[in-house]
Amino acid sequence: MPAIYLLRHGQASFGADDYDVLSDRGERQARVSSLEIARRAPRNPVVTSGTLIRQRGTAAIAAEVLGVETAPVDERWDEFSAHGLVEAQLGGPGTTDGLTSDAFQRHLDVAMADWIEGRTPGWREFSNGALDALNDLAASLPKGTDAVVATSAGVTAAVCGRLLGASAPGVIALNRVSINASITTIVAGSRGLSLISFNEHAHLLADRDLLTNR
C-alpha cells in the first residue's frame, strides 16, 4: 500500500517582487520536514513536485535528505494563482499591493468561494487535475515504493476536499489553515485513495519561528 506524502512548500516570499522563491526560513522548514519524512523510513521514495520554483526547491531539499534524485515535475501539482483570484475580486492588477497577509487571506476566502461555487470558471478543471495527478502517481508506483510530492496549499486542499466530499467552505477552511512545510499523508489501497492525516506540523513546533502559512 503506497504512502504518498504531500509536502507543502516552504515559506515563499510574500510581498517581494518575486513571490515564487523560497525564503531562508522556507529552506529551513523544508529541511526539517524532509528529515521528519526520512524518520518515517519511506520505501524507495520517489520525490516529485509541480513546476513552480518554490515547489522544485522544496523537492530538491527532500531528495537530498532522502538520498535520491528528483523525478520529473508535473504541472498538475502547481498552485492556482491566489493573487490573480484576489486581484480579479478587487478590481484588477495591483490591487493586492500593500495588503497584509491577514487581509489578503480574507479576500482570498471570498474569491475562493466564488471560484469553487462556479461564479468564476476553472475550479473543476484545477481540482480534477490535482486528483488526476494523485491517481496517476499512485498507479505508477512500483510495489514497495512511497512518494513525496512538493506541492501547495490549494492543491492539497483540493485533493483532500475531494476525498472527504467537502463543500466550498470546507475546502476553504483546509486551505486557510495549511502550514508551510506541513505533511499530508494519503495511502493508495484496494479501495482507492484514503486520507490518513492532514497538515501535520508538530515536527516544526520545536522552533516557533518555523510556523508560517504563506
- 92-125 pLDDT tens trace: 888 888 888 889 899 999 999 999 998 778 999 9
Sheet holding 46-49, edge to edge: 46-49, 147-151, 3-8, 183-189, 192-200
CA–CA distance, 33 with 204 (Å, rounded to integer): 7
Per the structure block, which three cell numbers stand in for 101? 497577509
CA–CA distance, 114 with 61 (Å, rounded to integer): 36
Q: Residue 97 has what pLDDT?
A: 82
Q: Residue 14 has what pLDDT?
A: 54
Q: Any idea which residue has 495549511 for its cell?
A: 178
Q: Where are the domains of the chain?
A: 3-210
Q: Are β-strands 46-49 and 147-151 bridged in parallel, bridged antiparallel, or unpaired?
A: parallel
pLDDT mean over 144-149:
98
**CATH number of the domain located at residue range(s) 3-210 in this protein:** 3.40.50.1240
Cβ contact 78:54 at 8 Å: no
Rg (CA), the chain: 16
Q: Residue 190 has what pLDDT?
A: 84
Q: What percent of the chain has pLDDT over 70?
A: 98
pLDDT at 163 over 90: yes
Per the structure block, which three cell numbers stand in for 103? 487581509
Q: Residue 120 has what pLDDT?
A: 77
pLDDT mean over 174-188:
97
Average pLDDT of the chain?
93
Of 77 and 89, the structure prediction assigns the larger pLDDT to 77
pLDDT at 199 over 80: yes
Q: What percent of the chain has pLDDT over 90?
A: 79
